[in-house]
Amino acid sequence: MPIVINSHTGEGSFFIEKSFKARIVQGIIRVLYKITLRFSSKITFLNYDDKRIFTEKKLIEDEKTEVIRGSGIDTEEWNPSKIRAGKSRKLRVLMASRLIIHKGVVEYVEAAKLLKKKHDGAIEFFLAGDFYDGNPYVVSKEYIKRAVQEGFIKFFGWKKDMIGIVNSSDIFVLPSYREGCPKSVLEAMALQKPIVTTNTVGCKECVENNKNGFLVPPKNVLKLAEAIERLIQDKALRMKFGRYSRQKCIEEFDIKLVVRRHLQMYRELLQKSPGPKTLRDTMKINIYSGMFHRVANFLAALSILAITFPLILIIAAAIKIESKGDVIYKQKRIGKNGKFFVLYKFRTMKKNSANQELITIKDKRISKVGRLLRKSGLDEFPQLWNVVKGDMNLIGPRPEMPDFHKRFSRSINNWHKRLDVKPGITGLAQLNGIDSNKPEEKLKYDLWYINNQNLSLDLKIIFKTLKYILKLENINDKK
């Protein structure tokens, strides 16, 4: 059977509306999804919310899903230092989108009316986009014409080359009700613009509130106007948000990253696909992915367990002799794609003293043997069995307890991306001395590893880990 890959770019207008007609259409579309996706090898989503909807409604199996955020942006082409910007005495606010109600066009125009009355002469509002006459939710041409005649906005209409228009603006706005991952926002981010958009599906993927822009509630003209006004009144904030926009775009949405993710997915699917392959096809496949990666981790973990079995018995005996209780401590952790598993460790704390809080190496509840095990990292040895079972890899982000993951997901942007790969026994964050008390710092190392994972890097991490163990230096999280 051929490999079939589907790409889901967003739910569309019918899934925003709540009318009876829209609900009927939604039902029909989902039935068609379920039928057609039976033949799919993989379906890609632009955000995690859409993926969750498809898996919860059982339209597709979770293992057949892949989240690749955005279609990518060429940050070299969309580079403000390479584009000559036009000069204007007035501050320019821009919205660029299809002119349909669900893009928030009406909210943008109404916010422009409020702010033009308050700051007339100092600010200009621009709108770029085309009308879609066949769309039942198209914005009225008369409404836009009237706003232009009254001097509230300037209308570009449809433009093929947007790079100059976006670059000459000072603030980019998209008050959309729902998106996949808006390309217009990514283009503005690449050109170092502060963003005002809505705290809704797709839009929130691009903007970190108070870092590269503001997230406002959808369909709320007053909140939208307030956010735009804050940027109008604070040039330093606009510059700060703009710099972070470009940095975020380069690190998360650059076309090279997106292409790399797609190629990795294709290689993994080709490896799983039955049938002969030419030598040329085989050479193109990244052997350090898919089944090869799993087999390598399985054999490595099994070998280490066999070689160190006498040491494991000695450690188990030492734990038993020092204090009563189980030798192995078990704890629920969260793994790839949010799947829960039981993590194994040598017990390092005195009986009945463990809890769900982070502790330090100096905690009095840690036994003498436990302190030595923690310092050397040998308390993590039983997790080799987690690797054999397939819950973990040797290298990867450390698995968190579900409560901590939930807490950090709410407070730290992009924390959920750690679940894109299997957790590991050791990783870059641990080798660089970042412990669990610094989750933001740990995330930076984890995301860098996820984006740059390869055999050479893993071997370096393994050898450095062995070096730390032999020196009895603490390399793991202070749990």
Q: What digits encode the pLDDT tens for the residues 295-344?
A: 888 888 888 888 888 989 999 999 888 888 889 989 999 999 889 999 99
- Compute the chain's Rg from CA coordinates: 26
Q: For residue 226, give the H/E element and its range.
A: helix 221-233
Position 460 scores a pLDDT of 85
Specify the CATH architecture of the domain 80-252. Answer: 3-Layer(aba) Sandwich (3.40)
Return the structure tokens found at 245: 């926009």
Express as a percent the part of the chain with pLDDT over 70. Answer: 88
**CA quadruple 181, 182, 183, 188: dihedral sign:** negative
Confidence of residue 23 (pLDDT cuts 50, 70, 90): confident
* β 213-216/195-198 pair status: parallel
Of 324 and 64, the one with more pLDDT: 64
Confidence of residue 277 (pLDDT cuts 50, 70, 90): very low
Position 125 scores a pLDDT of 95
Contact (CB, 8 A) for 448 and 420: no
For residues 267-279, give the mean pLDDT.
64
> b/e per residue, 333-359, with b = 16+ CB within 10 A?
bbbbeeeebebbbbbbbbeeebeeeeb
Distance, in Å, from the CA atom of 359 to the CA atom of 363, rounded to the nearest integer, reads: 6
Provide CATH 3.40.50.2000 ranges for the chain. 80-252
Position 274 scores a pLDDT of 55
pLDDT of 261 above 60:
yes
Cβ neighbors of 70 (< 8 A, separation 6 or more) are 46, 181, 183, 186, 205, 206, 252, 253, 258
pLDDT of 104 above 90:
yes
Position 286 scores a pLDDT of 46
Distance, in Å, from the CA atom of 110 to the CA atom of 153, rounded to the nearest integer, reads: 10
Query: For the CA atoms of 149, 154, 158, 163, what is the dihedral angle to 10 degrees?
Result: 170
pLDDT of 172 above 90:
yes
Confidence of residue 153 (pLDDT cuts 50, 70, 90): very high
